[in-house]
C-alpha cells in the first residue's frame, strides 16, 4: 500500500513513473543514459582540485 505522506518520485531523467526492474529509473533507456553520463564525465562530484602528479606514472629510477 503506497504511503500517502511520501509522494511517489518519478524517474530522475524524464519524470515518468519508475519501474521496479529499473529503479530508480523508468526504463532501461533512462538507466543507460544515466550510466553514459557518468562514464562520459557529464556528472562530477564536487571536491578540491586533484593533484596533477597523481595522473603520471612513477619513474622506476
5 is in an annotated binding site: no
51 is in an annotated binding site: no
Closest Cα partner for 13 from 4, 2, 26, 28?
A: 26
30 is in an annotated binding site: yes
21 is in an annotated binding site: no
Phi-psi region of 50 (alpha: psi -120 to 50; beta: other; left: phi over 0): beta
| Residue numbering of the annotated binding site for Zn(2+) | 11, 14, 26, 30
| Residue numbering of the annotated binding site | 11, 14, 26, 30
Amino acid at each position: 500500500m503506497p504511503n500517502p505522506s511520501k509522494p511517489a518520485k518519478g524517474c530522475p531523467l524524464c519524470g515518468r513513473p519508475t519501474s521496479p526492474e529499473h529503479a530508480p529509473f523508468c526504463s532501461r533507456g533512462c538507466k543507460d543514459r544515466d550510466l553514459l553520463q557518468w562514464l562520459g564525465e557529464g556528472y562530477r562530484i564536487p571536491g578540491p582540485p586533484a593533484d596533477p602528479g597523481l595522473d603520471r606514472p612513477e619513474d622506476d629510477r
